[in-house]
Structure 1
Amino acid sequence: MLLKKLNIAATLVDHRRRKREEERERKRAFLENGGLVLEKLVASCNGRPIPIRTFSYQQLILATNNFDHRFILYESCAERIYKMYKGSFEGRILSIKVYDERDSFAKDLALMDIGISAKASAHKNILKLVGCCLETSIPSLVFEYAQNGVLADQIYISKRQGTPMLWQSRLKIARQIAHAIAYLHTGFSRPIIHRDIRQKNILLDQHDVPKLSDFSLSISIPEGETHVVTDILIGTMGFMCPSYIDTLMVTEKTDVFSFGMVLLRLLIGQHPFDYLHRSEDEYQPLKVHLSNHAMNEIVDPAILAEEGGAGLEQQLQAVRQLGLTCIEDDPEIRPTMVDVTKELRRIERSIA
């Protein structure tokens, strides 16, 4: 009996010691991360830091039921750099982005995400950053909740469930995301290049309003410059501009190319042929495929089933041409995102 009591006492002492160590580690992380986040916010906001709310680690635990896997909304696939959880704070549903502590670049990615998200959150089509938790070794981010999930799950024929998204809804999403990207390019003294525009980084709220997200790979172009040359290639294959792959030079047209790929996928409703890595004997390049086939051979059948007549046909043709222009090999031929937004608005109104 005495031995049992001694074991229980030892266990309690060990538990309290671990709790004290965890508390010290959280305080250390809070101080270190607080300084880094403040520095990033000051640097990205021209010396005027934007105040954001701080959440405690205990609040994240309670909101996610100790990070229950059933609360996971999205997990970045191949690299598994972060997980997005659904959490409840004081009756409000929010999204919690938790970076993988094992990734050596995770802290840099999280800090960039915080800096750009805080700066750009004023735009209605950019996922709003509510705050962050500084008590984790890698800062965790808290965003508004996008109830309808990622765009990819809504438009890909192989993934979607229920009623297919209507063409006019797809067109509206394209125009709003184009406007958000144009805002990044033109709304600040140093243009922000997203560098990872794809369907999985476009979220939809309960009204299918699109929200551009994940600024962890973003980069700013210095004032007075038109480009920046990076040390390494970063992005998602299939969405990366060929000239960026060849030269590591990032410009506004890098995002234009990625957006063009998104626009064309909204049109065809599926993964296009991997034109960067397949020979013509196996698959025709995407541009050739879209240029040389009739609309009824490339467009999502759900769109073709809609009633729209000649007006719908004209819109589909116009979007196909715009998308192909956005993914031209020569960046100089591609339009700016401001011009893309104007053209999508014109197309949208053509049969409104």
Structure 2
Amino acid sequence: MGPPPPEKLKLYPSMDVKEGSKEGSGHIAAQTFTFRELAAATKNFRPDCLLGEGGFGRVYKGRLESTNQVVAIKQLDRNGLQGNREFLVEVLMLSLLHHTNLVNLIGYCADGDQRLLVYEYMLLGSLEDHLHDLPPDKKRLDWNTRMKIAAGAAKGLEYLHDKANPPVIYRDLKCSNILLGEGYHPKLSDFGLAKLGPVGDKTHVSTRVMGTYGYCAPEYAMTGQLTLKSDVYSFGVVLLEIITGRKAIDNSKAAGEHNLVAWARPLFKDRKKFPQMADPMLQGQYPKRGLYQALAVAAMCVQEQPTMRPVIADVVTALTYLASQKYDPEIQLVQNSHLAPATPSRTRRDSYRKQSGGWEKDQDTALNQIPSSII
């Protein structure tokens, strides 16, 4: 059996991208590869080419003989969790949706019962590789890099929520699915669980609960009702991981601290405890106001009531501002002073709006919604 014909991939033929994006023509742009080509690219899937392994199968580093391009090749486990439908959804989503913060799908293989996906190679691996269980010789992420990654990941999610039509609910946002390219540029990956969001007057889509324990929004886990705010909750968990260095679920921690959100919630209520939440690996090298504001955004995202969570565009606005405030541990920056303004100048806010095509709201919109008890 050869690769699936294009009509088999058009699960959602009405999908489009809102005006202002060059992509989203509705055509499947991914290349098709034979299994022989991808076996050759990975030297017959040699163990020394293995990049990682998960419930879906294995990911290998390879080099395409036809173009000499270095790529990542995901070979789906034929008996694994990711079935044919998830494979088709991933090909479709990444063929129609293109953004600087989404991983680029180069092509796929569907020879016989083999299912493989070919992506651009991301030099620095996943965010998880840089946050958890680091070997002693591995460089720790500094505060500036963490905010850059958080802002970029939020922009990728915002593209799915606000530019795709109908909107796309990612459903599996977690640190291992945020890949890092040169300069720690983040890209969302692994779209096999993505779902089209509600349209018209519908508030949610109903589906079986999928995703990763610790990242799933409570209302989705309990009812199977999926909304864009479910992704915002997952993003809040990721942002907490970035700030604290803790895992979403860590059974090696003391009782009551296994679940990151459950551990953080009582601390959110006392501003004096915010420094306790900073990753010890930062060694105190972070802006005090920046830490408070980043934690406040995370607190908003993981609120139990989905209606109380911000839309992702407001999260992007707040994090873009925080990422722009470069912290230099050698210099006492103005932003660490009690006299520092809480929001950027109007000139800077206007420049953000121009850079982003006019759709971003004022950066203080998100921060002003933070409960007074934690800001």
TM bucket normalised to smaller? 0.7 to 0.9
1:97 and 2:74 aligned: yes
Query: Which one of 1, 25, 38 corresponds to residue 60 of structure 1?
Result: 38
The secondary structure found in structure 1 opposite 2:59 is strand
Q: 2:281 aligns with which of 282, 292, 302?
A: 302
Superposed counterparts of 1:75-154, under 5 Å: 75-76=53-54, 80-89=55-64, 90-103=67-80, 106-120=83-97, 122-154=98-130
How far is the alpha carbon of 1:104 from its aligned partner? 7.1
Q: Does 1:191 align with 2:167?
A: yes
Q: Contact 2:25–2:96 at 8 Å: present in 1 too?
A: no
Contact 2:267 2:273 (C-alpha < 8 Å) held by counterparts: no
Amino acid at match of 2:177: N
Distance in 1 (CA, whole Å) between partners of 2:149 and 2:237 is 14
Shift in CA distance, 339/145, structure 1 to aligned 2, threshold 3 Å: same
Q: Is the 8 A contact 1:29 1:137 kept in 2?
A: no
1:138 positional shift: 4.3
| 2:198/2:227 contact within 8 Å kept | no
Deviation digits for residues 41-76 of structure 1 (CA, Å, limit 9, x no counterpart): 745458832322111111101001111122111211
CA spacing shift, 1:282–1:171, aligned 2, 3 Å:
closer
> 1:150 touches 1:201 (CA, 8 Å); kept in 2?
yes
- In 1: Cα distance, 2:82 partner to 2:249 partner: 31
Matches of 2:257 and 2:186, distance apart in 1: 38
1:282–1:29 distance in 2 versus 1, CA, 3 Å: closer
**Would you say how many aligned residue pairs link Structure 1 and Structure 2?**
313
Q: Spell out the pairing of 1:180-329 with structure 2 (5 A cutoff).
A: 180-272=156-248, 280=256, 285-292=263-270, 294-306=273-285, 312-329=287-304
Cα distance, 1:288 vs structure 2: 1.6
Runs of 5+ in structure 2 lacking a partner?
17-23, 328-375
**TM-score between the two structures when normalised by the length of structure 2:** 0.77
Query: Do the aligned partners of residues 100 and 272 (structure 1) sit closer, same or farther apart at CA in structure 2, a change above 3 Å counting?
Result: closer
Distance 1:337 1:161, change over 3 A: farther
In the aligned structure 2, how far is the partner of 1:243 from the partner of 1:206? 37
- Alignment root-mean-square deviation, CA: 2.6
Structure 1 residue 347: deviation in Å?
2.2
Q: 1:279: Cα distance to partner?
A: 7.3
How far 1:218 moved relative to its partner? 0.6
Tell me the equivalent position of 1:34: 5
Match of 2:314 in 1: 339
Q: Distance in 2 between matches of 1:156 and 1:290?
A: 23
Summarize deviations over 1:122-168 as a string: whole Å, max 9, x none: 20110001111121424311110001101011022555742211110
User: Which has the greater radius of gyration?
Assistant: 1
Aligned equivalents of 2:160, 2:50: Cα separation in 1? 29
SS of 2:319's equivalent in the other structure is helix
Contact 1:273–1:286 under 8 Å retained in 2: no
C-alpha distance after superposition, 1:88-128 (max 9, x if no partner): 013210011111112475111111111111122x2011000
- Taking the aligned partners of 1:301 and 1:267, their CA distance within structure 2 comes to 10
Unaligned runs of 5+ in 1: 1-27
Sequence identity (%): 27
Q: Secondary structure at the match of 2:117?
A: strand
